[in-house]
Structure 1
Amino acid sequence: MAITESVPVPLAPLPPLAARARAIGGSPVRDILAVTARPEMINFAGGLPAPELFDATGIAAAYQAVFAGTPARALQYATTEGEPVLRAALAGRTSARGLPTGPDDLLVTTGSQQALSLLATTLLEPGDVVLVENPCYLAALQVFAFAGARIVAVPGDGEGIDPEALDELVVRERPKLLYTVPTFQNPTGRTLPAARRAAVAAVAARRGLWIVEDDPYGELRFEGERLPWIAAHEGAADRTVLLGSFSKVMAPGLRLGWLRAPTDVLRACVVAKQAADLHTPTVNQLAAARYLADNDLDAHVARVAAAYRERRDAMLGGLADALPEGSSWGRPEGGMFLWARLPESYDTTELLARVVRQDVAYVPGAPFYAGEPDRSTMRLCFVTQTPGEIREGLRRLGEGLRAGA
């Protein structure tokens, strides 16, 4: 019997990835974290809440209660909108903070990051203009770029968006939406004052503009008075989508966020979520609802905020010695981040490798800009380390910056 040799068949090339996937790079923050995971590293680069402050006991008890009481329901499919008991609890918390809200005004999402993606899907066409703060939350820039939007930064200052500049941009650019983190913003830690919030709401009402108001840090206030959401201002209710999250106040591993939106937007986001993941995990929703019923979340957040204030103060106390003469930085009233600007001759992206050799890390400011970046800036997260670790980290940071000068 003759033996026939098989002849290799040349493989045809596969179709390429979508253009939007080829055009969008990874997250510089994640790239930095990947190379700074050594245990000896003091990491000011992450946006991670302090794990030792999680109420692990209370959360575990909530899961145990759910499995003891309703195991079949906890492990079953659920409605896309979210578990009614959780939406009712969230509506009550939102209403108590000055924005009347019913359960049907809310959609539970798999983290507030998913809420951003759903909004980009439902509101944006390729080429639409999105207005953002300058600098802006990095993952939001990625979401909008992935949707094919043209991203335009709104001029501002140390207090945030300039409402007059916003008004001029809306007239000139005809944007679809404005994205803002008005309270303890990522990356700067700044908070938009009450008068500017009212002015931003007035621009949206007068010009016809969606506002996406992202509020993951607002409950982490150390000092000063709480400010009303933009969504609560006159003229903004029917054109503002408010995003919330348990990631910074309960635990990020739960992956629980939500959006509050006008009816038409909410319905469109529900359809988009059905296509994305059907629903957020039932057991996590029920456990969060049980935790809210059995525990005082506000008291827990107050304890966390007190610890974060101590850590912020430790960072503020050491920056003058760590940063070169001529540097400036903010003093956030809450949240997780502090923004620093070095003298113009410094490029924090170029300096990072030298600083990392001192076993400390930060995030260069450049990736947070939609337009021309300020390369002398950096973001420092002050919540993940203890005050003693922060002081040591700043000592190392100073050595690294001096070595690279």
Structure 2
Amino acid sequence: MSTASPRSAAAPPPALSSRATAVGGSAVREILATTAKPEIISFAGGLPAPELFDVTGLARAYDAVLADSGSAALQYSTTEGDPELRGAISARLTAGGLPTDPASLLITAGSQQALTLLATALIEPGDTVLVEDPCYLAVLQVFGFAGARVVPVPCDEYGPDLEALDELLVRLRPKLLYTVPTFQNPTGRTMPAKRREAVAGLAARRGLWLVEDDPYGELRYEGEDVPRLTACAGAVGAGDRAVLLGSFSKIMAPGMRLGWMRAPAELLRACTVVKQSADLHTPTVNQMAAARYLADNDLDAHISRIRAVYGERRDALLAGLPDALPDGSRWNRPEGGMFVWARLPEGYDAAELLPRAVAHDVAYVPGAPFHVERPDAATMRLSFVTHTPAEIEEGLRRLSKALSS
């Protein structure tokens, strides 16, 4: 009697989850992978300028932590985060006009992880969440994996349209609104104080979670600071449904993967439990080094240096766009952050033109993937922080050649 070999009789492995197959990859990350050649001048990624990292100061901080507290720095730690780091963050937030207790903070592996924790703690499959149109691309992945119904809120140059937002709140009764109100990704726009107050008021009246993501808020090059949306929520009685996400990625070093969440106690506890199941805690040595760096260095002075350089690079990009883009193109002038949002004339498709741009050794991010519905094919996101003004000028020359060829 013959029997089939184990190899031929083996059944196929079980299928991937429906979430894993339904949610696509990040268009930005995939573009970055294809434009990694050193000869390409890339306006695609929101990558901080590596020459501005305070490598010396951070090295001293790591050395000091390992010399003084090496055993603790290399050990498991609490999920909530290093007490000294939480204290330093709460002090910065309080000084910036948002009184914050260290106990209301959770240290995360970048603010990206905070989004994932929130989605797990708040969203049931089928829940409706609102996002700005266009919106930060990765949040679409996060909410997609959570099984949410993602609905875009129509926006103008200053953020969500209030009438449209209220209509969606009444009709759909969404669980939360996710917003980047300061130097938004991808558009670079900033929501004015009056509109923040109105959005917070709607959250208070309609029963809505407000999730404010603020990775770029300290990168201002002109204009006046605007109160955080979370502070506005507290002023109108919606502080019990306001969440603030922050990060050291843009002002210290993204490779440290340090972010934080400020949230009401019950939600923070739920997110802490979710994080326990995900990674136990954010790396101890990175947290302690960041706390030591904040204690021994003037972070505000370092941010001022970053602002000066990035502001010059923004101006170089804005100065070169009239000659680089076709007649009839439009773009904004962000007061800070990392991005300029541009729109080519009718009939242009930024995604179709990207391979031509890459062939000319320049890259950008097409705007269509940032839209949940009705993508605008003529839009593009241009990041200005990674390259020097001379490199930006050369990149725009290449872009002009690509678009006109």
Taking the aligned partners of 1:277 and 1:109, their CA distance within structure 2 comes to 10
**What residue identity is the alignment partner of 1:368?**
F
The match for 1:69 is 68
Q: What is the CA deviation profile of residues 44-77 of structure 1, one whole-angstrom value per residue up to 9, with x for unaligned ones?
A: 0011000000100000000000011000000000
The answer to whether the 8 A contact 1:33-1:45 is kept is: yes
Deviation of 1:88 (Å) = 0.5
What SS class does the counterpart of residue 367 from structure 1 fall into?
Answer: helix
Q: What is the CA deviation profile of residues 355-401 of structure 1, one whole-angstrom value per residue up to 9, with x for unaligned ones?
A: 11100000000000011101100000000000000000001001111
The match for 1:297 among 271, 296, 299 is: 299
Task: Give the 4+ runs in structure 1 shifted more than 3 A.
Answer: 4-9
The match for 2:164 is 165
Q: What is the CA deviation profile of residues 201-253 of structure 1, one whole-angstrom value per residue up to 9, with x for unaligned ones?
A: 00000100001000000000011111111111122311110000000000000
The match for 1:316 is 318
Taking the aligned partners of 1:26 and 1:7, their CA distance within structure 2 comes to 36
What SS class does the counterpart of residue 58 from structure 1 fall into?
Answer: helix
**What residue identity is the alignment partner of 2:80?**
E
Deviation of 1:197 (Å) = 0.3
Say if 1:265 and 1:317 are closer, same or farther in 2 by CA, change over 3 A: same
Matches within 5 A, 1:19-98: 19-98=18-97
Taking the aligned partners of 2:262 and 2:202, their CA distance within structure 1 comes to 20
What SS class does the counterpart of residue 212 from structure 1 fall into?
Answer: strand
Structure 2 residue runs without a partner (length 5+): none
Taking the aligned partners of 1:157 and 1:380, their CA distance within structure 2 comes to 19
Deviation of 1:312 (Å) = 0.2
What SS class does the counterpart of residue 231 from structure 1 fall into?
Answer: helix
The match for 1:222 is 221
Residue identity over aligned pairs, in percent, reads 70
The answer to whether the 8 A contact 1:162-1:196 is kept is: no
**What residue identity is the alignment partner of 1:156?**
C
The match for 1:231 is 230
Deviation of 1:293 (Å) = 0.2
Matches within 5 A, 1:1-400: 8-233=7-232, 234=235, 235-400=237-402
What SS class does the counterpart of residue 238 from structure 1 fall into?
Answer: helix
What SS class does the counterpart of residue 246 from structure 2 fall into?
Answer: strand
Structure-1-length-normalised TM-score = 0.97
- Compare 244-253 and 160-169 and name the one that shifted more: 160-169
The match for 2:403 is 401
What SS class does the counterpart of residue 335 from structure 1 fall into?
Answer: coil
Deviation of 1:290 (Å) = 0.3
Deviation of 1:160 (Å) = 1.1
Taking the aligned partners of 1:299 and 1:379, their CA distance within structure 2 comes to 29
Deviation of 1:8 (Å) = 4.8
Taking the aligned partners of 1:309 and 1:299, their CA distance within structure 2 comes to 15
Taking the aligned partners of 1:92 and 1:259, their CA distance within structure 2 comes to 14
The number of residue pairs the alignment matches comes to: 400
**What residue identity is the alignment partner of 1:141?**
L
Aligned CA RMSD, in angstroms, stands at 1.1
**What residue identity is the alignment partner of 2:129?**
V
Taking the aligned partners of 1:350 and 1:8, their CA distance within structure 2 comes to 45
Taking the aligned partners of 2:200 and 2:7, their CA distance within structure 1 comes to 66
Q: What is the CA deviation profile of residues 7-55 of structure 1, one whole-angstrom value per residue up to 9, with x for unaligned ones?
A: 7542101110100001111111111111111111000001100000010
Taking the aligned partners of 1:132 and 1:205, their CA distance within structure 2 comes to 18
Taking the aligned partners of 1:240 and 1:371, their CA distance within structure 2 comes to 26
Taking the aligned partners of 2:16 and 2:330, their CA distance within structure 1 comes to 43
**What residue identity is the alignment partner of 2:327?**
E
Structure 1 residue runs without a partner (length 5+): none
Q: What is the CA deviation profile of residues 69-118 of structure 1, one whole-angstrom value per residue up to 9, with x for unaligned ones?
A: 00000000000000101101111011111111011000000110000000
Taking the aligned partners of 1:321 and 1:230, their CA distance within structure 2 comes to 37
**What residue identity is the alignment partner of 1:329?**
W
Structure-2-length-normalised TM-score = 0.97
The answer to whether the 8 A contact 1:230-1:236 is kept is: no
Taking the aligned partners of 1:287 and 1:367, their CA distance within structure 2 comes to 37
